């Protein structure tokens, strides 16, 4: 009995040691970045990476937001922030709603060719982006919207639809088909069932999908660089240009502050909606 207790205690100590080590492994770089962003440039030049700022200042944050140089322009990240907002909001709304509609249709309205469509969606979800970037550039250039907000929104919606459709389809399969049949017997059609029965049962999954899409679109760099155009570049593109600027003095405190400003929106999103994300992932057969 005592041996078993000792083994359990040793196992618990080992588990906590592993968790603490893992926490430190991921938190120390973040703490260094946060500390550097609040240091004046004179302290940063001393290469005192692991020391806390002796004179804490938020000047680097203000400069990163208002006047940091990204390439040849010195307007900070505030313009790129609103560009990202203009891109993310419609992209998330359209892709989530259309994905939920497709998932509902494929799970409870067995249309002709549904299996072929599912195969195409699976392939679309796993095809590398680089394979079809050039054809998309040609298509959007021919249509005349290349380099606009509409172009980058369309790209995010197109690439998000396969995953969103599969996500909602797998979720809606768990909803009893008898519920849909009963609604049909009562005279409800496709749209009425979707709007008044399916969507109210999908709140948690809608939140999960919105979080996934928001995070993916906000953190995107490749599509924003190629499809957004010079006047609509998101924060990730501007952050890269700020970090790689080679003229003048390299201000690492401003770069780290800019990186944190770029990362804050998805971090805050997870912080305030994390419990809903877990609920959606672990939802049961009838979700609500």
Between the two ends of the chain, the Cα-to-Cα distance in Å is 46
Q: What is the pLDDT of residue 2?
A: 59
- Return d(Cα 149, Cα 130) in angstroms, integer: 20
Cβ burial 151-170 (10 Å sphere, 16+ → b, else e): bbbbbbbebbbbbbbbbbbe
Q: What is the pLDDT of residue 282?
A: 63
Residues in the chain predicted with pLDDT less than 70, given as ranges, are 1-6, 110-111, 245-248, 278-288
- Return d(Cα 61, Cα 36) in angstroms, integer: 11
- Return d(Cα 235, Cα 242) in angstroms, integer: 10
Overall size of the chain counted in residues: 288
Predicted confidence (pLDDT) per residue in 49-89, tens digit:
778 888 888 888 998 898 888 777 788 899 999 999 999 99
How far is CA 124 from each of CA 68, 82, 118, 136, rounded to the nearest angstrom? Answer: 39, 30, 10, 14
- Contact call for residues 175 and 100 (beta carbons, < 8 A): no
């Amino acid at each position: 009995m005592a041996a078993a207790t000792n083994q359990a205690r040793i196992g618990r100590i080992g588990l906590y040691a592993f968790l603490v080590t893992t926490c430190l492994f991921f938190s120390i770089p973040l703490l260094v970045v946060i500390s550097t962003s609040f240091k004046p440039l004179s302290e940063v030049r001393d290469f005192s990476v692991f020391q806390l700022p002796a004179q804490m200042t938020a000047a680097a944050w203000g400069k990163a937001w208002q006047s940091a140089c990204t390439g040849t322009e010195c307007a900070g990240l505030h313009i790129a922030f609103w560009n990202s907002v203009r891109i993310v909001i419609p992209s998330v709304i359209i892709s989530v709603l259309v994905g939920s509609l497709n998932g509902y249709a494929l799970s409870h309205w067995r249309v002709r060719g549904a299996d072929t469509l599912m195969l195409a969606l699976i392939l679309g979800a796993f095809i590398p982006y680089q394979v079809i970037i050039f054809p998309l550039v040609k298509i959007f250039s021919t249509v005349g919207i290349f380099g606009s907000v509409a172009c980058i929104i369309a790209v995010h919606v197109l690439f998000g639809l396969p995953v969103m459709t599969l996500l909602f389809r797998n979720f809606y399969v768990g909803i009893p088909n008898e519920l849909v049949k009963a609604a049909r017997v009562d005279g409800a059609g496709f749209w009425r069932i979707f709007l008044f029965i399916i969507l109210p049962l999908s709140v948690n999954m809608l939140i999960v999908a919105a979080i996934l899409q928001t995070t993916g679109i906000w953190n995107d760099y490749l599509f924003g660089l190629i499809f957004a155009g010079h006047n609509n570049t998101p924060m990730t593109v501007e952050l890269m240009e700020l970090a790689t600027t080679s003229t003048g003095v390299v201000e690492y405190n401003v770069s780290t502050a800019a990186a944190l400003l770029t990362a804050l929106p998805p971090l805050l999103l997870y912080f305030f909606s994390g419990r809903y994300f877990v609920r959606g992932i672990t939802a049961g057969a009838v979700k609500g």
